[in-house]
């Protein structure tokens, strides 16, 4: 053997000896999205019976990122947008790469709970060896135990479910359909480090809805997320229209496949404003500085509200362009908040008067001045509006039903949209809405009644070509038939 060959052999042996002594490369767990792309899930629409890889749709990706970023997430959703699968994948990923974690899943029944474990077992079996997922060392209908001592447990939503358990991640599926919603969540959630709630809506009066309201208002630890029917990109507007049209109860079908979050919480019984349709009555828009503006105010003991309405100068069409709700503010602070809020509109001519709840003329033993007197001090020029609830309801319904120029609400007026989408008839009188509805519903609807003055004719309607709704300008640079909604 030549000297060069011997030298090369010695160098090779030294490299091998050094590599043997070097510590083994540490396994790096996959990112959440890489893990998703490696998981096999059942394809409900498939014909071959094979698993398909879970490649999240754009909205699913955003929600998964929120799961990873936030400790408490509340998802209000349409049916069949793949969020249960996404949450289970997130739970599996959370358990496999850190030991001694419990992922607790609560579903509406024992059968549903068992099905979650079955789906998780299928997902785990589909993982490639390169992901080095710990083995399942123990399994039964409601529990999976992994080699790293992490576990996934699924339970039915009984009254005392999960009381006394301390889980890393709690997945609450279909909260709105639990029998004891508040008690169950209060039993399970406080001891969990992370909580994910997924649900379709079941009306505007239960605990699930009240928690959603608080989450939207930033008054709870939950980050609110809404997934509309279009979260599944395979669905088209034509598909949704066909599903709604074929339904015996179109309103409840819209609740199952909502376009905006307020449809998600439609009442299970009849709504008062059944005719309200977000696709027709809600638009993205801002106040037009040159248009005539009406300010409407409803006083309240704990809450007070104001709306701003504008009228199209040519067609007389009415638009609600702004809303304000204040809680626990004295009247002077509420009046100042009205002026501050209105200043953002940049109106060429401010409203000449404020159409107000006539009850603001009264003086009680607790106040030195009436609401009207305080409002005058702030230059709001209050005028008592028609307070006949029946007449006001008729005016709202007539404008919603207008075939050419219906009432339109700015998408930013979320409280009013929710009120029109959820309020039910009064139990004693079907001709008025229930004025005991929760939240700010009635204050905003009362404002709307005051703002729609009786006998007000639409100026210039006769000059507009009847039947040309799809080509009628709406004053915002759009054609009425088009929609620019971003929820």
Task: Kindly report the CATH number assigned to the domain that includes residue 416.
Answer: 3.30.420.280
Is 81 in the same domain as 202? yes
**Residue 75 confidence class, pLDDT cut points 50, 70, 90:** very high
In this structure, the dihedral spanned by the alpha carbons of residues 44, 75, 58 and 53, taken in order and rounded to 10 degrees, is -40
Region 91-119: mean pLDDT is 95
Is 216 in the same domain as 315? no
Please indicate, yes or no, if residue 59 is contained in any of the structural domains. yes
Is 72 in the same domain as 218? yes
pLDDT of residue 360: 66
Is 227 in the same domain as 288? no
Please indicate, yes or no, if residue 16 is contained in any of the structural domains. no
Residue after which a domain boundary falls, among 196, 216, 231:
231
Mean pLDDT for the chain?
85
pLDDT of residue 461: 34
Is 369 in the same domain as 227? no
Is 208 in the same domain as 69? yes
416-431 pLDDT, tens digit per residue, is: 998 998 888 887 788 8
Residue after which a domain boundary falls, among 166, 199, 231:
231
Is 318 in the same domain as 220? no
428-442 pLDDT, tens digit per residue, is: 788 889 887 767 888
Please indicate, yes or no, if residue 326 is contained in any of the structural domains. yes
Is 40 in the same domain as 134? yes
Q: How many domains does the chain have?
A: 2
Is 51 in the same domain as 129? yes
pLDDT of residue 457: 42
Please indicate, yes or no, if residue 254 is contained in any of the structural domains. no
Its domain, for residue 313, covers: 283-457
Please indicate, yes or no, if residue 196 is contained in any of the structural domains. yes
Residue after which a domain boundary falls, among 214, 231, 248:
231
Is 213 in the same domain as 298? no
Please indicate, yes or no, if residue 252 is contained in any of the structural domains. no
**Residue 467 confidence class, pLDDT cut points 50, 70, 90:** very low
CATH of residue 223's domain is 3.40.50.300
Residue 464 Cα distances to 1, 405, 481, angstroms = 103, 11, 16
Is 320 in the same domain as 446? yes
Please indicate, yes or no, if residue 7 is contained in any of the structural domains. no
Please indicate, yes or no, if residue 68 is contained in any of the structural domains. yes
Is 321 in the same domain as 218? no
């Amino acid at each position: 053997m030549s000297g060069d060959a011997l030298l090369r052999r010695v160098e090779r042996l030294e490299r091998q000896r050094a590599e043997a002594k070097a510590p083994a490369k540490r396994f790096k767990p996959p990112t959440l999205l890489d893990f998703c792309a490696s998981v096999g899930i059942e394809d409900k629409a498939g014909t071959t019976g094979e698993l398909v890889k879970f490649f999240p749709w754009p909205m699913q990706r955003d929600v998964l990122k929120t799961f990873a970023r936030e400790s408490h997430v509340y998802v209000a959703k349409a049916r069949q947008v793949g969020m249960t699968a996404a949450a289970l994948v997130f739970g599996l990923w959370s358990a496999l790469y850190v030991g001694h974690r419990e992922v607790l899943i609560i579903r509406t029944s024992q059968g549903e709970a068992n099905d979650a474990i079955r789906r998780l077992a299928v997902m785990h079996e589909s993982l490639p060896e390169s992901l080095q997922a710990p083995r399942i060392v123990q399994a039964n209908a409601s529990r999976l135990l992994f080699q790293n001592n992490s576990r996934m447990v699924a339970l039915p939503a009984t009254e005392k479910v999960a009381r006394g358990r301390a889980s890393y991640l709690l997945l609450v599926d279909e909260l709105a359909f639990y029998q004891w919603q508040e008690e169950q969540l209060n039993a399970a959630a406080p001891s969990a480090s992370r909580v994910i709630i997924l649900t379709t809506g079941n009306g505007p009066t239960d605990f699930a809805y009240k928690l959603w309201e608080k989450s939207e208002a930033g008054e709870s630890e939950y980050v609110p997320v809404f997934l509309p029917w279009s979260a599944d990109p395979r669905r088209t507007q034509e598909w949704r229209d066909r599903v709604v049209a074929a339904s015996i109860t179109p309103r409840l079908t819209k609740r199952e496949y909502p376009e905006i979050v307020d449809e998600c919480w439609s009442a299970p019984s009849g709504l008062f404003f059944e005719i309200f349709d977000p696709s027709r009555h809600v638009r993205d828009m801002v106040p037009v500085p040159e248009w005539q503006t009406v300010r409407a105010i409803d006083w309240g003991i704990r809450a007070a509200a104001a709306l701003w309405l504008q009228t199209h100068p040519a067609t007389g069409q009415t638009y609600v362009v702004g809303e304000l709700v204040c809680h626990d503010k004295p009247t002077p602070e509420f009046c100042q908040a009205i002026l501050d809020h209105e200043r953002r509109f940049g109106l060429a001519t401010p409203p000449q008067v404020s159409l107000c709840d006539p009850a603001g003329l009264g003086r009680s033993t607790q106040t030195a001045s009436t609401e009207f007197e305080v409002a005058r001090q702030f230059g709001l020029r209050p005028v008592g509006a028609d307070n006949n609830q029946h007449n006001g309801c008729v005016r709202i319904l007539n404008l919603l039903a207008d075939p050419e120029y219906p009432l339109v609400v700015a998408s930013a007026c979320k409280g009013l949209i929710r009120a029109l989408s959820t309020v039910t008839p009064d139990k004693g009188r079907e001709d008025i809405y229930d004025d005991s509805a929760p939240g700010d519903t009635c204050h905003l609807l009362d404002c709307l009644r005051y703002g729609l003055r009786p006998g007000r004719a639409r100026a210039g309607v006769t000059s507009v070509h009847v039947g040309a709704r799809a080509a009628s300008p709406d004053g915002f640079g759009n054609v009425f038939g088009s929609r620019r909604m971003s929820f």
